[in-house]
Amino acid sequence: MATATKKPTKAAAEKTASAAAPKTTVKEVTFEIEAPKASKVLIAGSFNNWKAETALSKGKTGKWSASLPLKPGRYEYRFVVDGSWVNDPKSQAVANPYGSANNVIEVK
């Protein structure tokens, strides 16, 4: 399951050069999956060019999690649990061109 919280990219005290300039906000998005027997969990998605290089940390209860800074937008992702691609059972999924599905998160 993925959740997002707002995190400004610049300190609030900084003034923009132009009042009309749009603010870019990055949000910390937390991805979680229950996999108590797993020894390694990674995440890959459209936010990192589908490179399964971002490791999740295992909690005491077997829940793995990682927080990633993401700009607003729509992203697709999947977990890699002990080398196998796995969907997030708590998130919406869409078909992918490989005959399986990717999870989707909308960061606002």
Q: What is the pLDDT of residues 65-100, one digit of tens each?
A: 999 999 999 999 999 999 999 999 999 999 999 999
Which two tokens mark 66? 């990682």
Strand, helix or coil for residue 108: coil
Was domain 26-107 assigned CATH 2.60.40.10?
A: yes
What sign does the CA torsion over 26, 4, 98, 79 have? positive
Q: What separation in angstroms does the CA of 73 have from each of 18, 20, 27, 62, 70?
A: 24, 21, 11, 30, 8
Structure confidence by residue, pLDDT tens digits, 20-52: 556 679 999 999 999 999 999 999 999 999 999
